Amino acid sequence: MTVAANEYTMWVGALYTHALYAIDLFNDTIAATVDLNALVNDGNNYGAQFIAMNPEQTEIWIPCWTTDNPSPVGTKVLVYNIASGTITANITVGNAPISCTFTRDGAYCLVCNYVDNTITVINAATKSVVTTIALSGITSPIHCGVDPTNSYIFVGGSTSTQSTANIYNVSNWSLNKTLTLADGIQVWSFTPDGQYAVVPTFNGQWVEFIELSTLTLYHSAGTEAGGYQMAFTPDGAYGIIGFSTLPDSEFAIFDMATQSQIGTPVSLVASGYTAGATITPDGSKCYFCNFADGTAGVSSISVVNLTTLPTYSASNIINTITLPTGAGPVNAIIASPPAVPLQSNFLSLSLGQTGLTITINTYSQASGSLVQTISTTETPAGKGIYVANTKLIAGSPVNVIFTDSTGAVRGQAVA
């Protein structure tokens, strides 16, 4: 079974069952399960950890943490083609690949090898290894991040005694700078305004903010221990983060204007870890991946309502998606909203969903005032729409809003 890559589907990697789960974001249910072992057929790749989607949104790259569940360590990265539902590459990397990250131009995939303390650089087009970066002074890296300008790679050591973070140049893979942060450096993210790299520290009770213009530590925000990944609302106003404060886990909201935590963390699950945080393109919900050590215990995704921010409480947890026992979800990815190609009198959209009403608002380029509103539905259902002779003004801003039968906004696109 194949599932389209769009902003209404979330892909989840499973650490222990070595599967991909496609989550339908309309009703928060599992739409499809991809058994990676069945596709590879060599019985030698397990432990889908921190997966990544290429910028073209055609492939999911899957680091195989182990070769048997749960040991010994693996040495492979699988490339899953979304359209065909097949594995198109099986790439040998270092020992215990734990995460995949793409450079901003999509030319390379960077694989953190947890045991080797290296980053394998893969040509994304040819699926061949270009080079291996030996990480000076770093042990057990779990993730690397690439800044919005595609200039720098950020990576750090994740163990309880590791506080070293290195910054490498994308242009030649060389070391640019070394920083000292709090212990246990986790998953890197970048503020929507492009000003800061942000990383939680699992052992230190801090979220670190690195200023990208100077490549220096700008601010350390005090918070809970056990932080994994911070995600941001599309407008950049808030950050949301999960904590594994064992035996339970929690989430909290950050005010990005002050780079500080708002209020008291809210409990997510009992007796488990919370890892990846993924926010929908419209900023209305955040999905947290929850798992337990080993193949028993919690395997779920908590759905958190973000429309009440900055106020939040336990009532913001509006749903729980239960995965198969012992699945072990670590992170989730959602494709970006569709682009809206415009000509002077034509608007074409490919939505891949049924039952939506599309409202097209055209604004004056000079004054910003609303010039025209058009509403239509999918024709044929699920195949997208084509609106001709709508007198769209070439070069004028257009806002497209997708709503369901209840009137709830399911997505927006701007062109």
Number of domains in the chain: 2
pLDDT value at residue 298: 77
Is 54 part of any domain?
yes
Question: Do strands 329-334 and 46-48 pair parallel, antiparallel, or not at all (unpaired)?
Answer: unpaired
Do 135 and 29 fall into the same domain? Answer: yes
What is the rounded distance in angstroms from the CA atom of residue 19 to the CA atom of residue 23?
13
Whether the predicted pLDDT of 290 surpasses 80: yes
Q: How confident is the model at residue 291 (pLDDT cuts 50, 70, 90)?
A: confident
Mean pLDDT within 106-112:
97
**137, part of any domain:** yes
In this prediction, residue 160 carries a pLDDT of: 83
Higher-pLDDT residue of 201, 270: 201
For residues 356 and 345, the answer to whether their CB atoms sit within 8 Å is no
Q: Are residues 162 and 89 in the same domain?
A: yes
CA dist., res. 95 & res. 108, Å (int): 19
Q: Are 110 and 137 in contact (CB under 8 A)?
A: no
**CATH number for 377:** 2.60.40
For residue 132, tell me if it sits in a domain: yes
Sheet holding 216-222, edge to edge: 189-190, 196-201, 206-211, 216-222
Which of 25-29, 324-328, 352-356, 394-398 has the least mean pLDDT?
Answer: 394-398
Whether residues 42 and 164 fall in one domain: yes
What's the order of all strands across the beta sheet hosting 248-255? 227-232, 238-243, 248-255, 260-270
Q: Mean pLDDT throughout 339-357?
A: 47
* Residue 350 predicted with pLDDT over 70: no
**Structure-token match 């359209």, residue found:** 83
Q: Note whether 322 and 357 are same-domain residues.
A: no
Where among 302, 334, 366 does a domain terminate? 334
pLDDT band for position 115 (cuts 50, 70, 90): very high
Residues 297 and 350 both lie in one domain: no
In a domain, 341, yes or no: no
Domain range for 221 is 9-334
| 380 and 313 together in one domain | no
Q: Is residue 272 part of a domain?
A: yes
Q: Does 404 share its domain with 256?
A: no
Same domain, 143 and 29: yes
Neighbours of 133 (CB within 10 A): 21
pLDDT digits (tens, 9 = 90+) for 33-84: 998 888 876 555 677 889 999 998 999 999 988 766 556 778 899 999 999 9
Q: Are residues 378 and 245 in the same domain?
A: no
Q: What is the predicted pLDDT for the residue at 388?
A: 39
**C-alpha dihedral (260, 155, 169, 105), degrees to nearest 10:** -80
Query: In terms of pTM, does the model score above 0.75?
Result: yes
Can you give the pLDDT at residue 338? Answer: 53
- 243 with 330, same domain: the answer is yes
The single-letter code of the amino acid at 347 is L
Average pLDDT (269-296) is 85
Rounded percentage of the chain residues whose pLDDT exceeds 70: 75
Question: Same domain, yes or no, for 53 and 129?
Answer: yes
- For residue 225, tell me if it sits in a domain: yes
pLDDT higher for 119 or 228? 119
In a domain, 407, yes or no: yes
Q: Is 3 a member of any domain?
A: no
- Whether residue 406 sits in one domain with residue 275: no
pLDDT one-digit tens code per residue, 143-157:
999 999 999 999 999
What share of the chain has pLDDT > 90, as a percent?
Answer: 55
Q: What is the pLDDT of residue 403?
A: 65
Q: Residue 246: which CATH number?
A: 2.130.10.10
d(CA 60, CA 81): 7
User: Which tens digits make up the pLDDT trace of 163-214?
Assistant: 999 999 999 999 999 999 998 899 999 999 999 999 999 887 889 999 999 9
Query: In a 3-state reduction of DSSP, which class is residue 84?
Result: coil
